[in-house]
Amino acid sequence: MDRPSSTTRTVPPGLTFPETTPLVVPTDAPAPGRARPALPLRREGPEKLTGEAKYADDLVFPGAWFGATIRSTEPRARLLEIQLDDAFDWKRVVVVTADDIPGDNIVSLIDTDQPVLVPVGGEIRHQAEPCALIAAPDRATLREAKRHVKLRTERLPAVFDPIEADREFAHYTVESGDAAAAMKEAALVIEGTYRVGHQEQLYIENQAMIAVPRDDGGVTVHGSLQCPYYVHKAMKRALNMGDELAVVVQAETGGGFGGKEEYPSVIALHASLLAMTCRRPVRMIYDRHEDISATTKRHPAVVRYRSGVSDTGELIAQEIEVIMDGGAYCTLTPVVLSRGVLHAGGPYRCPNVRITGRAMATNTPPNGAFRGFGAPQTEFAAEMQINRLAEALDASPLDLRRRWVYRQGDTTPTGQVLRESVAGIEVLEAAAEASAFDRAHAQTHSMREGRTDGARTATGIGLALAWHGAGFTGSGEVKLASVASLELTEDGRIRILTASTEMGQGTKTIFPQLVADTLGVEYDEVEIAPQDTSIVPDSGPTVASRTAMVVGGLLIRAAERMRARVEEATGRSFADAYRGAGPMRIDEQFVPYPGEPFDDKTYRGDAYPAFGWAACVVKLDVDLDTGEVAVRDCVAADDMGRVIHPVLAEGQIEGGTLQAIGYATIEEMKLVDGRYLNDRMATYLIPTSLDAPRIRSIIVEAPFSGAPHGAKGIGELPMDVGAPAVVAAIHDATGTWIHYLPATPERILAALTGGPMPPPPGISLEAPEPNSPPIEDLPPGGDEMPFRAPTDPGEPR
């Protein structure tokens, strides 16, 4: 493979993991997935390319009705009555309210606080909250019916700022040493408060679900989703169904990024309730506007950070307070906060650390999973601190990291000893070398020194480093107890059975790779069963960069057992013998990785089985007239353990890096009265190909011995590191630190000129601007708001 932008390096074994147990695969054999062919084409690629792939909205169910959701339009209120206007003939449609829910009125996840539908008398807690459902035989009838429903409510006071909120979803403390005492001893202390806003996943396919009632009283849902068994669990609880009655089938899924981790449970319950009521299939396919308005976003966060450095130049103290905005309901917020807290110190050795985290409830739509899952928020703050410390110490940001980054044998704030696969220094050096960081940094520095008054643009270079815990926390994987299965069918086919979903990241390609190589057969000889809860076991959710490492590891072990069993029974090689050796099924269940168990109460122990490591160097230009940022060049070095498919891995690095650049520069949800103002693709903008820099991906491989194939996971890692690199480069160009994400031109120009700073990200404005119309009156296309009339004296604000 000749791809000039990609470099793969293997860390010399003697350097980083001398005392670990050897990989299960003999060192003279190719690693699983690397044997032959090294880079198979995507399993589902041809169908997607030719348009044959069936996404939820492509699925045809004769006689299906169309479903819609009646949502609140206030951030907080008491629901007094659902009024059905007599002017409409309600026999033409079906209407579902909370009274029609056969089981508990709960969207089952971590907590039980979120109702499927707000009951009459219940509390509406956000602007897009589902209160009733309608299904109709056609869309025109559905639209007409929707217009004849009114919610009578009593408005209640709403809270928008997590700092002012009093309802808490979770809190954690991580403590090692005595941070307060050490801070007093520090020769240099740097403090900062950092705020980051919402981010929308903007998967290419909107949320979609079709529920089909069955004769046995059960319901099968087909939808766009990441976690079939999350939906399954939610259906059992709210629909009062047993394991077999609720069936969840993943349709081809057009992206997720975490956005299809928890929300599909909501839409599946809605579609199911309607289908059970009208006794026909019901399609609920969100349009983009509804999808952005109602579904989960990345959590906004406030991070207050204090770092202390000794007179000998060591990082000796960190005091960190993290406040996340969970939105109106719990969803996955405690786990997001947990990951944010566990990553908040950054990848640096520090003996005295105190990290506290709180997640608070506000009257905004619930926030949830998004690639990085709490870590991008806190690691932005951590890297801002390191870069500001480098400035205060007059040290190179590269040298300071070389000095402080975790090495093998170091201990993290939870007391986890980093025994192996510690590649922070390798990714740092790889990115520094490929970007010629020292030379480029010196150049931009002298350009800044020599800049004259009328300069049009300023060039800057920025560096950031990150770590990302692989998979769930230690205790999380133990609780999941995932199962992956491998089947040899009676007619001699090899079939993978897992609930791990394909959403564009490559699950359906790497699993057959791993199994084929372990069995010694060709890639095409291994099939993968549909992600259907009536067929596949619960392999846990497809999240947390855990699929390659955890479920991939289970499949390799299952394949090892199957191969051994067939070869022992037949005395021949598996490849020769397997066609007549079935039927056989091997179920492999997760067993904990070696290490100290993680204690959820004390937050001590091995937080994650291993960490991935990432460094990013960004070069950009700032337009000094407008504050616009053009990211020109980016070097991303990522260690994900042993790589299974380099092309797919590189795709993850490039995609994650670009998503991080959007987070850093332009992606901002604006809220008024708790409602997303820019809830359309015309107004919520992400980078286009013209905004994308050249991205040079460097793959660093520091294998993890706990997984049989040495993989750690890559999906989220690049998301953690891009934004602080961008903001460091903006500082390098202009000399000004932007403490808020995104670093929009509005914020940059205000910082450069001393003008008024726009409001912080993630906080809703209390009420509509006096001269602004309600959003329903937005001009067609949603492309603009009316402007103050030119004759208006328009006092400057």
Partner 1 sequence: MPNFVEPPIESPASLEQAYGLLRDGDGRPWRPLAGGTDVMVQITGEIGEPPARLLDIWAIDELRGIHVEDGALLIGALTTYTAIRRSDEVAGLVPVLAEAAATIGAAQIQNRGTLGGNVVNASPAGDTLPVLLAVDAEFVLGSSDGERTVPARSFWTGYRQTARHDHELLLRVRIPLLSGREVRFRKVGTRRAQAISKVVMALSWRVDGDAWTDVRLGLGSIAATPVRAPATEAALEGQAPTREAADAAAAALSAEIHPIDDVRSTADYRRAVAGRVLHRLIRDNGGW
Is residue 701 within 8 A of residue 16, CB to CB? The reply is no
| Interface residues toward partner 1, by CB under 8 A | 138-140, 143, 287, 289, 454, 456, 625-628, 630, 666, 670, 677-678, 682-683, 685, 687-691, 745-746, 749-750, 753, 755-756, 758, 769, 771-772, 776-790, 792-794, 796-797
CA 243 to chain centre: 28
Which CA distances in Å does 599 have to 332, 415, 523? 19, 11, 41
Instruction: Identify which of residues 243 and 766 has a Cβ nearer to partner 1 in the complex.
Output: 766
Are β-strands 149-155 and 77-84 bridged in parallel, bridged antiparallel, or unpaired?
A: antiparallel
Instruction: Identify which of residues 321 and 633 has a Cβ nearer to partner 1 in the complex.
Output: 633
Are β-strands 65-71 and 282-285 bridged in parallel, bridged antiparallel, or unpaired?
A: parallel
Which CA distances in Å does 508 have to 178, 511, 528, 550, 736? 48, 6, 7, 15, 46
Instruction: Identify which of residues 91 and 797 has a Cβ nearer to partner 1 in the complex.
Output: 797
CB of 454 to partner 1, least distance (A): 6
CB of 57 to partner 1, least distance (A): 11
Cβ within 8 Å of residue 46, ≥6 positions away: 52
**Helix H or strand E encompassing 188:** strand 188-196
Per the structure block, which two tokens stand in for 753? 């000129």
**Helix H or strand E encompassing 528:** strand 526-528
| Distance between CA atoms of residues 517 and 525, nearest Å | 11
Instruction: Identify which of residues 297 and 388 has a Cβ nearer to partner 1 in the complex.
Output: 297
| Distance between CA atoms of residues 680 and 684, nearest Å | 6
Instruction: Identify which of residues 333 and 683 has a Cβ nearer to partner 1 in the complex.
Output: 683
CB of 748 to partner 1, least distance (A): 10
CB of 140 to partner 1, least distance (A): 5
Instruction: Identify which of residues 584 and 778 has a Cβ nearer to partner 1 in the complex.
Output: 778
CA 330 to chain centre: 16
Per the structure block, which two tokens stand in for 30? 């190719």
Strand blocks (E) in 279-314: 282-285, 301-309
Instruction: Identify which of residues 525 and 628 has a Cβ nearer to partner 1 in the complex.
Output: 628
Per the structure block, which two tokens stand in for 549? 């490492």
Instruction: Identify which of residues 89 and 185 has a Cβ nearer to partner 1 in the complex.
Output: 89
Instruction: Identify which of residues 1 and 789 has a Cβ nearer to partner 1 in the complex.
Output: 789
Instruction: Identify which of residues 583 and 756 has a Cβ nearer to partner 1 in the complex.
Output: 756
CB of 446 to partner 1, least distance (A): 24
CB of 792 to partner 1, least distance (A): 6
Cβ within 8 Å of residue 610, ≥6 positions away: 420, 421, 469, 470, 593, 641, 704, 706, 712
Angle at 421 between CA 420 and CA 423, to 5 degrees: 125
Which CA distances in Å does 593 have to 201, 674, 744? 31, 43, 43
Which CA distances in Å does 67 have to 108, 249, 267, 591, 786? 22, 19, 10, 43, 33
Burial of 768 (0-12, 13-18, 19+ CB in 10 A): middle
CB of 689 to partner 1, least distance (A): 8
Q: Rounded to 5 degrees, what are φ and ψ at 586? A: -115, 120
CB of 293 to partner 1, least distance (A): 12
CB of 2 to partner 1, least distance (A): 30
**Helix, strand, coil shares of the chain as percentages rounded to 5?**
30, 25, 45
Instruction: Identify which of residues 143 and 407 has a Cβ nearer to partner 1 in the complex.
Output: 143
Is residue 619 within 8 A of residue 429, CB to CB? The reply is no
CB of 289 to partner 1, least distance (A): 7
CB of 718 to partner 1, least distance (A): 20
Instruction: Identify which of residues 224 and 513 has a Cβ nearer to partner 1 in the complex.
Output: 224
Instruction: Identify which of residues 157 and 780 has a Cβ nearer to partner 1 in the complex.
Output: 780
Are β-strands 526-528 and 611-623 bridged in parallel, bridged antiparallel, or unpaired?
A: unpaired
CB of 335 to partner 1, least distance (A): 32
Scan for tokens 């350097």, then name that residue: 15
Per the structure block, which two tokens stand in for 479? 């609780």
| Distance between CA atoms of residues 756 and 27, nearest Å | 61
Cis amide leading into 347 (omega within 30): no
Instruction: Identify which of residues 14 and 454 has a Cβ nearer to partner 1 in the complex.
Output: 454
Strand blocks (E) in 347-416: 352-361
CB of 95 to partner 1, least distance (A): 20
Residue closest to 161 by CA, chosen among 358, 322, 325, 337: 325
CB of 658 to partner 1, least distance (A): 12
CB of 761 to partner 1, least distance (A): 13
CB of 627 to partner 1, least distance (A): 8
Instruction: Identify which of residues 270 and 557 has a Cβ nearer to partner 1 in the complex.
Output: 270
Instruction: Identify which of residues 30 and 794 has a Cβ nearer to partner 1 in the complex.
Output: 794
